[in-house]
Structure formats: structure tokens, C-alpha cells
Amino acid sequence: MASDPLLDPLNDAQRRAVMHATGPALVVAGAGSGKTRTVVHRIAYLMREHAVRPHEVLAVTFTNKAAGELRERVSELIGPPARDLWVATFHSACLRVLRTYGDHVGLERGFGIYDDGDQLDVLKDVLQSVRGLEDGNPRALRSVIDRAKSNLWSPEAFEEAAGRAWGREVGGLPIELVGEVFARYQARLRQANAVDFNDILGRTVELFDAAPEVLERVQQRAVFVHVDEYQDTNAAQYRLTQQLAGERRNLVAVGDPDQSIYAFRGADLRNILDFQRDYHDAAVYRLETNYRSVGSVLKLANALIEQNQGRLEKVLRPAKGDGEPVALFRANDHRAEADFVAREVEAWLAQGGSYDDVAVLYRTNAQSRVVEESLRKAGIPAKIVGGVGFYERKEVKDVLSYARAALNPADDVSWRRILARPKRGIGRTTEDALVAWAARQRVRFSDAVLRAEEVVPGTGAVARLRDFAALMDDLAEAAATLSATAFLKAVLDQSGYLQALRDEGSFEARGRMENLDELVSAVAEWEDETGGGIGDFLDEAALLASVDDRAVAAANDDVPASSVTLMTLHNAKGLEFPLVLLVGLEEGLIPHRSASGSLPELEEERRLLYVGITRAQERLVLVHCASRMTFGRTEFARPSRFLEDVPRGMWQEVDALGQPQSGGRGGGPGALPRPSRGGWTPPVVGAGGASAGTGAPAAAPVSFRGGERVRHPSFGGGTVVGVRGEGAKAEVTVVFEKAGAKRLLLRFANLSPA
């Protein structure tokens, strides 16, 4: 029998998906299961077997890189006809439509596209026109407006829709005021004949609804629709997909619910979970053969993710052998954790590996600092993906600039940097006036601030500059009298910088707060080691920053130097490495402290860890600490509850040198030291739900860690989503099916297994 270049390279599941002809289909593509190959071969198969013309095929991806790879691989199979395929991101596909038909929704030819900076500029102007919001945070409002647009909420519908979803306040502001800002912002965009990034999707949905004839023309160019990463679609992308599929319903959605990790961007897991509800006759193909990871990694990944309720059933099976066991190391503290990482990298090199083989993954950007320092001390080159060196991050530079300004009134650069960070009603016009006056008088910028009444007489800025000058006087005194750590905490508190980030409340602001938390810890740790003051630390930080600059420049300029990759779990999606070191597997980090309030958030954190685990090709090393420094204090750290999801024997505990500990491969949650498992012991619960001592027969102790099904005498059935406190103050948070979320004192909760 003659070989078939389209079908022979595929496994059975891939082949069935490729041969799917018409009608809706869902391809549940597990990590490393060859989903791109499946889509590529299906497009080629449609053209060969069903005479589908290239200009009838649309393939939508989420990144330009993915679109380029798909187009290139189809071209390798079918040659020049691939040029006529429509392969694009959601945004580029919609922009193409709007450029052609935008006049149907009031967009004139040549309309502009506002980027993030443009959005902020417009919002700053709008805020000055809304009474009570003159000093509002434009970044926070931009985040709210972006979320609203991803949900397809118009300014007119915002108040009602957002009120149902978020309550009567957003970011500490009344929903009515936010709605007014949204309406004025959108009016400004229309007046300027412009759209922002989210408008590109929303205005296309609006166009298709307003002009069915336009939709019909576009559908003729998209007879066969493929959507990659369907689990990451938001409401706007979901609606676009429905519109394009239309009555033909030739839609193939490819994705994996177990890798849905972008809810903070508006991704809605229900879009893929409910695909068969939307298309009741849809064919479902499960790609479960994993070509990336060894069996030991996949066994652990499967055991972890099966604890989630919001998923489509599948089990990854390795095309490779079992490989070496997953390693687990319990470090004494974050320093020992980072040093262990460096030793593991050195051991990998000694075995013939390269730096490029290695990735260190963590939940938050702030965790990179100590790892960066340990690798640098060991002479190991590293690059940060999706970020910059710790001491070059904006918020870190801002706060250290406060310290420099407090110590040195002649440091004009630092004084100017902090003048409006955070916003305090001192605008660019005032700053320019201060700079010009200082230049004319040949004095320092700080002198101009102190003589504000001469520089900007009769303006409202005078009082604000006076307050700023008083703040700097206080900080100068604090720098001379307080320890380095205490001084830095005073800066964060008195400057209002930390409070401004709290008020913003965005995902980005949370990350910045974590970096500042890590900065305080860095200063406290350095102070313990050296006994130096804040001025000495600034010198040290300047040297560290210069090293960061070189490392990041090398990464960004594609310098051909082999290096270890450092990145967050979110940034690791879609990548793979022979050796993955996953650090910080502790409560408060993974699951993150901000995500323990509901079952959906907890399950997304578990998916995030699953994504990290499935990046490993040959070796996976998990690390957690017995203690970690937080905001300058060393605190006890509990291992992540997700470690308890994994049965015994799926990892091998190792010592600080990476060698198996005595006891061999008997690792698992039961092997973790008892003090690190929790901090409280739950009461003994009887068969009928009564606590020990009430006369009811006692059952085995119940150890809640999140996800358990329980029953309450009054509230009925529910799911445990969080535990906090110790002893008599231990609390459990349960989401009940009828009564909603309840926080209960555990000793009085009277819960029984459901």
C-alpha cells in the first residue's frame, strides 16, 4: 500500500480528527499531544479529499507566533496554495474586516488604533472632567474598561451588567462613576475615529450584528473555521466564533480545559466545557498521547488535575518511557531553595546537558530575585522571559528612588521620578515649570520644590508641593534614624505608593505589590547579613541592577549565549524544556493567596501548576521551603495543598545535593514532615457530623485542604474552598449549592462527608 503523507504520520486519534469533514467538532488536545500537527494535516486533508479551496479556510490562533508556525507548516505540506489560507490571530482577522467594512458602524477609513499608553492619556483627560475622580487611577479604570469590553458590555449596559457581576463598587469606586468614565472614554474614541485593542473585537461583533450582509460575505471566506486554544476565549471571541460558524457550523474548536489559566484576562472556561451544549451533535476527539514528557511526569500531572471538577475527561499517556522519577526537595528557606537550583543546574551540565535545557518556573515574578542572585554567584548565565531584572522593575526603581532622594537632595533624577509616583495632583506642566525655574536660578530641583510659591504662585499645585516637601523632610529624617528595613517600610507607607497599588486592584498591581514585598525582604535579609544602612544597600542594589541589565539585554537582543530560562508559570505555557525546576510549591504562592476564595479560582491555580509540570520533557524537580521571608519577616511555610493531591510513590525525595534520601522512592504527601502539613488539627467528626465528645461515634479525622464535598445540617451540600486559622479559631470556607459561600468556625461547623 502506498504511503500517505497526510495520514501516516498521525496516531489513531489525530487521524480521526483530521478526517472529520463537515459539521462541528471539539478536539480535546492534551499537553504535548500534537494539536498543531492535527490542525495542519486537517487543513491539507480538506483540500485534497474534499476539494476545499484555500480561500475557504480560516484558522484563528492567539499569537502571531502561533499563526506564523501554522502557516509555515501547512505550506510545507501543500506548497504555494497555502498563501491563500486565512491564518490570523483574532485581532488581526477582525482588524482586516473593520478596515474593509468599518463604515457600517461609523468607523471612517484610516481609523486609528490606541495602544495602552494612548488609552491612559485619554483616561487622564476624562478623569479631570468627572467630578470626584480628578485624582482617580487611570490604570485601574483602564483595567475595568478592558474587562467590560471583553464581556461585550457597552457603556449603556455597563452599570447593570457590572453590578450583577461585581457588585456596586469596582476598585473602591461607585459603579455609577465608573460607568460615566467608560461612557466619556468611549465617546472620546468615537470622536477621534479610533478604537482600542478590545474594540477591535467588540466593534466587529457589532458590525456583524448590524450588517448581516457583511457577515455573509466574511462567512464565504471562512467556510471551514478552526479556533486554537478555545479554552482561552473570552465572551467577545466566543461570540465571534459563533457568528463566523453560522448556519454551516463547520467549526473545529481545539483546546484543553486543563490548561485554561487566563481568567484574569477574561478567558471563560465555560466556552469549551459547554461546547457540546452549543453544538449537541459535535464530534469529540481526544488527543491523549503525549510526545513531550516521560511517564513519571505525566503520572503526576494526571493525578493532580483529576482533582478538578471543571474539566473534560482525558488521561495523558506517554509516547516515551517512564524516565527518572520526579524529584521533591524540601529546602529550609528561600536561600537554600535558590542554592539548590544552582546545584541542580551544575549537575545537569556535568551530565552533558546545556544551560538552554533548563527552565526555573515560579508563580510570581517576585520569586525570581533570590534565584537570580544564586545563579549569578554560581557563574550560571540566566535570562528572564516576560520580565526584567528585579532591580530594574518600575516599582522597585520608584521606591529606591525615594530612598535616594531622601539621602541626596541634589539627585534631580530621583526627585523628578517620584514627584508624581503615586499621583498626587502634580502634573507635567508644574514639573516643567520647576525644571525651568531651577535651570534659570542654577539650583537643584529639590530647591525649586521647596520654593513652590515663587515658581507656580497662586496655583493649586503650591499646597501639593508643600505636602510633598514635608514628606521628603520626614523621609530624610527617617533615613538618618531608622534601620534600612524600617526606613523602606516607612517609604511604602508614608508615600502612599503601596496604597495606590491596593486601590488599583488590577492583576498587574498585585504583581507590583509582590515585588515590593520581595524588596523589603531583600533589604531585611541584606541588613541581617551586613548590618549596613539604607545608603549601603542602595550601592549594592546599583551593582546588582547593572548585572540584571546585561542579562536582560542579552536575552532581548538575541545574543547567542546559552542560558538558563527564568519565568512565571503563566509565561511558560506552550514551551518545553528537558529539565524543569518548579520552585515555591507552598500555600500562598501556589495556590496564590489571592485565589483561595472560591472553587473556580482554586481550580485555575491547580491548572496553572499542571501547565508547569507538563513543560518538563525529561526531568522534573519540585521544591518547597519550610520557611520563607515575607515583607521582611521569616515565616513558616506550608507545602502546597496540591502536593497532597498526588498519591504516594509518584516522587522521590532528594537531599540538598539532589541525591535520593533514605527510604528510596516512597515519597508522597505522607512523607512530608507533619509540621509542614498544616498548622491546625481538625476535630474528629462523627458519622452523623457530630464532633468527638458529643456522644456520637467518631470517624477518622477529616483534613480539609480544599475541594472536599461536605454536608451541613442547615445549608446542605457544598464544597470546601479554603481553610484558615488554628486550633479553636480554625475556619473553613464552604461554597454551598443553595446557600452560597459561608465561612464557619470549624469546631462548630458540624460538617460531615457528603
Q: Is the dihedral of CA 481, 482, 483, 488 positive or negative?
A: negative
Distance CA 12, CA 20 (A): 13
Active-site residue identified among 615, 619, 628, 641: 615
* Beta-carbon contacts of residue 723 (< 8 Å; ≥ 6 apart): 680, 704, 705, 706, 730, 731, 732, 733, 746
Distance CA 626, CA 332 (A): 5
By residue count, the chain amounts to 754
Residue 51 has what DSSP assignment?
-
Active-site residue identified among 15, 35, 203, 330: 35
Distance CA 719, CA 733 (A): 9
Distance CA 602, CA 591 (A): 7
Is 35 among the residues known to form the active site?
A: yes
Helix-helix angle 507-530:497-504, to 10 degrees? 150
Distance CA 541, CA 562 (A): 26
As beta bridge partners, residue 196 has: 114
Distance CA 79, CA 95 (A): 27
The three three-digit cell numbers of residue 247, written as one number: 448556519
Strands 633-636, 627-630: pairing kind: antiparallel
Strands 86-89, 57-61: pairing kind: parallel
Active-site residue identified among 196, 199, 229, 372: 229
Active-site residue identified among 38, 241, 259, 367: 259
Consecutive H or E run containing 331: strand 326-331
Residue type, 296: S
Is 615 among the residues known to form the active site?
A: yes
The three three-digit cell numbers of residue 106, written as one number: 461609523
Active-site residue identified among 16, 36, 118, 747: 36
Is 322 among the residues known to form the active site?
A: no
Distance CA 686, CA 696 (A): 6
The beta-carbon contacts of 342-350 under 8 Å, at least 24 apart in sequence, are 342/374, 342/375, 342/377, 342/378, 342/380, 343/656, 343/657, 343/658, 344/579, 344/581, 344/621, 344/658, 345/375, 345/378, 345/380, 345/564, 345/581, 346/378, 346/380, 347/658, 348/579, 348/619
CA nearest neighbour of 622 among 601, 644, 604 = 644
Is 229 among the residues known to form the active site?
A: yes
CB 494 within 8 A of CB 475: yes
Cis omega (within 30 of 0) on the bond before 422?
Answer: yes
Active-site residue identified among 159, 196, 199, 228: 228
Cis omega (within 30 of 0) on the bond before 174?
Answer: no
Active site residues: 35-36, 228-229, 259, 615
